[in-house]
Every structure is written in C-alpha cells, then in structure tokens.
C-alpha cells in the first residue's frame, strides 16, 4: 500500500476523532463515521459556517452514520469512547460494537488502527478475535492491526495533535510501516515506535495514572496544609522552584481520561491477580474530594454568610476543566449533589457548555446564557471552574468564593 492507495475512514467523531479527521483530510481521501446523526449535522453546520478553519478540508459529503459508506476504505481508525459504568467498571460496549461492524465490512489487506484508550492487552485479546470471527479473515495474513493512543488535551492551543509526539505500534511490521507513513505525513513531531501493541497501550495508561496519583498527592497535602492554616498554592509555588519538583495543584479529577483510565488499569490488574495499592488509593483520594470540598464550603457559608438552609447559591462553571465545553465525567455535578444535601436553592451557570446536553446527560437544568442570570439575587457565587469569562467576577459581585480555596 502506497500513500496514493490510502483511503481512510475515521470511526467516532468526538473530541478525538474530529480533529484527527480534519488533519487527515488535508492529505487523504477520508470518510468520517459516527452513529449519532446529530453529531454529523453539527459538524456539517460548523463546516458550512466556516467558523473553524481546521475543519475546512473535511468533505461534508463523506460524513455518514452508515457503515456501507465506508466499505471501500482500506484504513480504519477507531476513536470511539471507552468510559466506565456506574460501578466504575470498563465499558467497552462501543468498542465491541465497532469491532463487530468492522468484521462485517473489511476486505483483505485492510489496516485497522485503534486510538481509543484501552487496558494493556485489549486490542489483541478483545478486539482482534471479534473481527476475525465475523470476517473469517486472519490478522497478519488477511488484515493488519495497529494501536496508537490518542494524546489530545481538549482545548489546549499549544499541545495539539499536529505537534505532539505520536506513539505507534502494530501486530506486524507491514502495518507499522504504513502507520508511520500516515502519521508522519500529518504530524510535525517524532513518531515513536513501540516494540509491541501492549507496550503502547500501557504507555497511555501510565501517562494518565501518573497524573492521577500526583493530583491525589496534591489533594492530600492540601488537606494537611489546611490543618496547619497555610495554603497549598503558596507551598507549591515555593517547592516548584526546585528543578525536580512536579508542579501539580489540587483539584477535582474528572474528564474522559485521568478520572477514567485508572479504573481500566485496576480492572486489568485484578484479572492478573496484581495489586496496585497506590493507584487504587489515588482514586479513593480524588473521588472523595467533592465531599471534602462541599463540607468546607458549607462550613464557610454557615460562618460567614448565613446559617439558613434557604440561601441562594450560584455555581459558576460546569465543564470538567477550565475554558472548554467538555462535560464528560465532570465532578462539578458531584459537588452540586453534595451541596444539595445542605442547601435547596442551587443554580449553575456555564456559558461554554450546551445546557440541553447537560440536561440530557445529568438531568440537571443549568444556565448557559448570561441574559438568563441575575447575579444579584444570589447570596454567594462559587467559581467551580475558572473559565476566562469569570476572571473579573470577584470585582463585580460580593460574596464570591473559589473552589480551589476549599480543596
């Protein structure tokens, strides 16, 4: 397969798949597939309005919800979500569904590249057997499989897909060579070849688990600082002047990666009878932070605002991190749940998120339009997410507090 023979289909057009499709479309004939027809319409609308130049190269006539439309492709890149369920177990249902569909459409000499985050071993032990069974084809003989973990940081203007080192791996040398060819043509950063698929899968796990552990340490040390009546921010700023100190601050750990991937690793470790006490404890520390912060805020309100349960509270920000509209696994929802045990008049405002999506996913009505909010009727404003839109909020209204001060 040469560069002129490559016909790509990106499957899953969310926060990972869409920017990948946009970048690949500059060089290759590409289809974009997503099971959500509303998502397809949204991308087509963005493209038509020319609001995002990165999407200009996407062919809107090649966006589809039908697997039949991508049958002629010979490179399939999988970027579907791999979340956790309500019991913190891996939910691979979307990945399994994709493998079943692929098994029914792929032809000989196809290459399948998985970018979705999975536990080590999943590509070869879960995905490939499904594809082989349904297609009656054999990996490394009739088709090839690679794994290249996504490393996108949502709404990061500096660390983007095009300038972030790309890890690639494959079950066969031929697939690895083609993967290198494809990614080298769109990424202006090193292409890093892992010795095998499991190593690449583990590297992605380690990236996010390490981050989770470091934040857990910061969260735990923050609680200690409270007991000494000192602030973790000042302590961290001073400690970080040493060259080998990791400058990590406390926070609520949500989102689609750091708050999810450790559970995939823990699940896999349990299957192998391996104990990971530090990883497990880090999850416990970070998951407990919403309740801890809520308790601190409630105490502050009782001491400085009012002992009444009827005061009105406005939470500012709902996304899982600042300056983005991503609400996946946002811990602000959990914070609101805890605060609601003590106070019944709580509203939330986030100008960046889709309030209809929040209502659908969390059954929580929130404000997303400034015109809907009368800030003056609230007894206290809690900045839960530091969007740029909230930078001057403390100067304009009284009784404004920041979640970071209660972590």
Q: What is the DSSP string of 75-111?
A: EEEE-----B-TTS-B--HHHHHHHHHHHHH--TTEE
Q: Please report how many Cα atoms fall inside a 13 Å half-sphere around the Cα of residue 373, on the Cβ side.
A: 20
Nearest Cα to Cα of residue 84 among 333, 204, 269, 261: 261
Residue 12: exposed, middle, or buried by beta-carbon count in 10 A (0-12, 13-18, 19+)?
buried
Tokens of 337: 């749940």
Question: Which one from 30, 257, 290, 348 is the annotated catalytic residue?
Answer: 257
Residue 257 a catalytic site member: yes
Taking residue 78's Cβ as centre, other Cβ atoms within 10 Å add up to 24
Residue 86: exposed, middle, or buried by beta-carbon count in 10 A (0-12, 13-18, 19+)?
exposed
Nearest Cα to Cα of residue 99 among 132, 73, 70, 68: 132
- Looking up tokens 């349960």 gives 309
**99-126 per-residue burial string, b: 16 or more CB within 10 A, e: under 16:** bebbbebbeeebbbbbbbbbbbebbbeb
Residues known to be catalytic: 257
């Amino acid at each position: 397969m040469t560069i002129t023979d490559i016909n790509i289909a990106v499957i899953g057009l969310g926060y990972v798949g869409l920017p990948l499709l946009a970048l690949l479309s500059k060089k290759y004939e590409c289809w974009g597939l997503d099971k959500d027809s509303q998502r397809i319409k949204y991308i087509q609308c963005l493209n038509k309005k020319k609001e995002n130049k990165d999407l200009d190269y996407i062919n809107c006539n090649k966006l589809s919800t039908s697997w039949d439309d991508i049958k002629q492709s010979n490179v399939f890149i999988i970027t579907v979500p791999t979340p956790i369920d309500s019991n913190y177990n891996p939910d691979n249902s979307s990945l399994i569904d994709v493998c079943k569909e692929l098994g029914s459409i792929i032809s000989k000499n196809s290459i399948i590249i998985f970018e979705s985050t999975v536990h080590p071993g999943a590509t070869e032990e879960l995905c490939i057997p499904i594809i082989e069974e349904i297609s009656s084809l054999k990996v490394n003989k009739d088709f090839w499989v690679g794994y290249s973990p996504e490393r996108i940081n949502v709404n990061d203007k500096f660390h983007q897909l095009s300038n972030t080192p790309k890890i690639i791996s494959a079950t066969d040398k031929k697939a690895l060579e083609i993967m290198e060819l494809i990614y080298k043509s769109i990424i202006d950063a090193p292409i890093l070849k892992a010795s095998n698929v499991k190593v690449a899968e583990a590297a992605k796990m380690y990236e996010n688990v390490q981050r989770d552990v470091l934040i857990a340490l910061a969260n735990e040390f923050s609680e200690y600082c409270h007991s000494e009546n000192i602030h973790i921010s000042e302590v961290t700023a001073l400690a970080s002047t040493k060259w080998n100190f990791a400058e990590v601050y406390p926070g609520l750990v949500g989102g689609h990666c750091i708050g999810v991937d450790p559970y995939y690793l823990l699940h896999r470790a349990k299957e192998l009878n391996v104990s990971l006490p530090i990883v497990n404890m880090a999850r416990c520390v970070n998951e407990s932070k919403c309740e801890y912060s809520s308790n601190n805020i409630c105490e502050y309100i009782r001491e400085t605002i009012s002992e009444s349960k009827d005061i009105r509270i406005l939470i500012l920000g709902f996304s899982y991190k600042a300056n983005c509209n991503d609400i996946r696994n946002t811990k602000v929802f959990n914070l609101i749940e805890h605060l609601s045990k003590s106070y019944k008049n709580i509203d939330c405002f986030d100008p960046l998120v889709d309030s209809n999506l929040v209502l659908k996913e969390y059954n929580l009505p929130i404000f997303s339009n400034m015109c809907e909010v009368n800030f003056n009727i609230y007894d206290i404003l809690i900045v839960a997410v530091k969007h740029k839109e909230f930078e001057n909020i403390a100067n304009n209204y009284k009784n404004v507090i920041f979640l970071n001060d209660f972590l």
